[in-house]
Amino acid sequence: MTGRPTPFFVVAGFLGSGKTTLLKNFLAVHAGGKKIAVVQNEFAPGNIDGRELLATGLPFKILEINNGSVFCVCLLAGFIRSLAALLDSDGFDAVVLEASGLSDPIALAQMIEADVLRGRLFLVHTWCVADASSFPRMERVVLPVARQVRVADTVIINKTDLASADDIRKTGERVREINPLARRIETSYCRVVLDDAFAPLTAEPVALRTRDENAQFEACGRPALGSAALRSHRTITRAGLDLFLKEAATNLFRLKGFVRLEGGGTVSVQFSSGVLEILPAASGTEATELVAIGPGLDARTFRRSFNAFTSS
């Protein structure tokens, strides 16, 4: 192998925190001048975020790895091989991994030092996006949330427009407790300066500086959560969609996708941290596509619930 190692960036954060928004911002700044490969990892069987990225029209190559976290032992070996093959396929100026919202990246340093990757990638920066409106609650019940903070160089305390002042304060204090080495930025819509992302490193990334300390932690296995990926050519009225979402979102951590409405038109659906957003989609779609994640979620029940409110 010859040539310089490829810069590697990681975007971590819990479900719905704003990772894809950060990635879109990164691409808007750098994709025009650099050849970038994006690896999108989705816990559920389907990937909605890839479509959202491609809709930007920016130039980049995308590799989608779904149905689990790339840091889980069930996918890690295959992910490392896929990453090596990606590096073989073309000369990229950077690789950016958007990790699953349920990923545990505690072994990030060990991953990039795997035999087939050693000397081919160097870790530049890890961002963790924390939803200030839900972090104080989710960090206590979902172990990977704290692990995502622990390896970060920058923790973006996001959605401050939706969070209370108390939750923003608690999030900042807890982030500092978990990872005193990380820079903390409070913002909304992941509005952070990304122009200097490729600037020469002034310090070793946190995940590398803390590799020995983090080695004591056993990586989390696949979380005990259900997931569903629904694709349907049925249409639904707006009133029917509201009823379906009221029923379906009760126990969900995350719901996202696109829905075809009866009579024409498509809407984008985003639900996380108890906040539901339904907006007209930028472009039409041939089918409804939804991805859902939550405790006890059953894919068949989720589909039956949707069908009950649709027209064939």
Query: Same structural domain for residues 174 and 300?
Result: no
**Residue 220 domain-assigned?**
no
Q: Look at residues 99, 95, 206, 210 and name the one whose alpha carbon lies nearest to residue 155.
A: 206
Say which residues have a Cβ less than 8 Å from residue 153's Cβ, sequence separation at least 6.
Answer: 125, 126, 127, 181, 182, 183, 205, 206, 207
| CA-angle at 97, arms to 122 and 286, nearest 5° | 155
Model pLDDT, residue 167: 93
* 89 shares a domain with 157: yes
Q: Are residues 32 and 130 in the same domain?
A: yes
Q: Say if residues 266 and 241 touch (Cβ distance below 8 Å).
A: no
In the chain, how many domains are there? 2
And the tokens for 278?
């339904």
Q: Are residues 146 and 261 in the same domain?
A: no
Q: Distance between CA 203 and CA 199 in Å, rounded?
A: 11
* Same domain, residue pair 268 and 194: no
| Domain membership flag for residue 221 | no
What pLDDT, on the 0 to 100 scale, is given for residue 62? 86
If asked whether residues 42 and 185 sit together in one domain, one would say yes
Residue 84 lies inside a defined structural domain of this protein = yes
**161 assigned to some structural domain:** yes
Domain-embedded: residue 131: yes
163 and 30 share one domain: yes
**Is 1 part of any domain?**
no
- Residue segments in the chain with a per-residue pLDDT below the cut of 70: 1-3, 43-50, 67-70, 72-75, 219-224, 282-285, 312
Domain final residue pick, 183, 214, 245: 214
- 77 in the same domain as 178: yes
Domain shared by 185 and 247, yes or no: no
DSSP secondary structure string for all residues of 2-40: -SPPEEEEEEEESTTSSHHHHHHHHHHHHTTTS-EEEEE
What pLDDT does 12 receive?
Answer: 93
252, 275: one domain: yes
pLDDT for 1 equals 44
**Predicted structure pTM score:** 0.84
Burial status of residue 90 (CB atoms within 10 A of its CB: 0-12, 13-18, 19 or more): exposed
If asked whether residues 240 and 180 sit together in one domain, one would say no
The 3-state DSSP class for residue 208 equals helix
CATH of the domain at 289: 3.30.1220.10
Q: Residue 219 falls within a domain, yes or no?
A: no
H helices of 115-251, where? 135-141, 143-150, 165-178, 206-209, 211-214, 238-248
Query: What is residue 202's predicted lDDT score, i.e. its pLDDT?
Result: 82
Q: Which of 167, 191, 214 is the last residue of a domain?
A: 214
Containing structural domain, residue 289: 226-311
Which pLDDT score is estimated for 183?
95
User: Is position 57 within any domain?
Assistant: yes
Tokens of 277: 């957003």
pLDDT value at residue 141: 76
pLDDT of residue 312: 61
Of 168, 190, 214, the domain-final residue: 214
State whether 115 and 75 are in the same domain: yes
Start-to-end C-alpha separation, the chain: 55
